[in-house]
Amino acid sequence: MAAEALVELENVHFARGPRMVLAGIDMRVPQGAIVSLMGASGGGKTTLLNLMAGTLMPRSGRVRVAREDLRTLSFDGMYRLRRRMGMLFQHSALFTDSSVFENVAFPLRRHFRWGEDILRKLVLMKLEAVGLRGAAGLMPAELSGGMGRRVALARAMVMDPMLIFYDEPFTGLDPISVGIIATLIRRLNDALGATSIVVSHDVRETFSIADYGYILAGGRIIAEGTPEALQASDSDLARQFLGGQPDGPVPFHYPAHEDYATALGGSVVAGEGI
Ligand SMILES: Nc1ncnc2c1ncn2[C@@H]1O[C@H](COP(=O)(O)OP(=O)(O)OP(=O)(O)O)[C@@H](O)[C@H]1O
């Protein structure tokens, strides 16, 4: 972790109305690294990505990206910084009425007035990098789920971002596609000299490419370290999460206001189940 930090969070708090979602987050994402962010559903991982991308502002604490404090950045400064960020979401969010080529070309057309020749070269280069140059003329409806995710990956990379956010990049894919996307995330990160933050529930695949990981629970970081260190962690919460155990410190039951027997009019015998 000696490299300079590209993203740094210091004592970040964030609330939704009265509900505290993040309660004092400290994180450091070194330049060039792939850092994973894991934790129970609803634990605030997507919120954290949005805070790093500057689309949400913390209630208190500081978020710095490329040495810029996001809270004090001007509108123009934020716009320039965001242009250097790429995002890939679980739902590839391709434009269904545009070809694969046009989907990848979209960010370039939006930000630059380049001639068709250079645009074509750049788009085909990115499609080649994800193994889909031959699919440039297809429509999204003609792609498998894994191919669609790769097109979205090419689009996220087309502006050569310095920082790439992945929110559940493996969800809904078959095991072969998961392996392909994971390999591409690592390969493209290194080829572009980028830095990546991966939110995922897929422990095995994520740890196969991550340099460092954080586990989030109850609005706090409960464990951090290299994948090897996290897997050897003696935290019950970390073990429950990484081992995929349904019950543990994070309870299976969402808390109810009254007990089960009372809710059913007293007709349940203790211990009786389905
Ligand atoms: N727009 C919103 N308005 C109000 N509450 C929200 C909003 N977005 C998220 N939340 C709440 O903030 C909390 C954190 O949500 P977030 O989406 O960051 O969690 P997550 O860890 O990414 O979950 P998942 O793994 O299920 O995607 C949740 O309790 C969620 O209900």
Summarised one tens digit per residue, pLDDT across range 201-246 is 889 999 999 999 999 988 899 999 999 999 888 878 777 777 766 6
* pTM, two decimal places: 0.85
- The best mutation among 12, 13, 16 to test binding of ligand 1, ranked by most ligand atoms within 8 Å of the C-beta, falls on 16
Number of H helices, E strands in the chain: 10, 10
For residue 265, how far is its CA from the centre of ligand 1 (angstroms)? 34
Res 218: pLDDT: 84
Using one digit for the tens of pLDDT, what is the confidence trace for 157-196? 999 999 999 999 998 888 888 999 999 999 999 999 999 9
Q: Which ligand 1 atom sits nearest the alpha carbon of residue 49?
A: 18
Name the burial class of residue 106, with classes exposed (0-12), middle (13-18) and buried (19+) by CB atoms within 10 angstroms of its CB: middle
- The best mutation among 36, 38, 41, 47 to test binding of ligand 1, ranked by most ligand atoms within 8 Å of the C-beta, falls on 47
User: DSSP letters along 197-215, please?
Assistant: EEE-S-HHHHHHH-SEEEE
Q: Report which of residues 271 and 50 the model is more confident about.
A: 50
Count of residues for the chain?
A: 274
What strands lie across the sheet with 220-225, from one edge to the other? 85-89, 163-167, 195-199, 34-39, 212-217, 220-225
Using one digit for the tens of pLDDT, what is the confidence trace for 85-97? 998 877 768 999 9
Q: Which ligand 1 atom sits nearest the alpha carbon of residue 39?
A: 21
C-alpha to C-alpha distance for 256 and 126, rounded to whole angstroms:
50
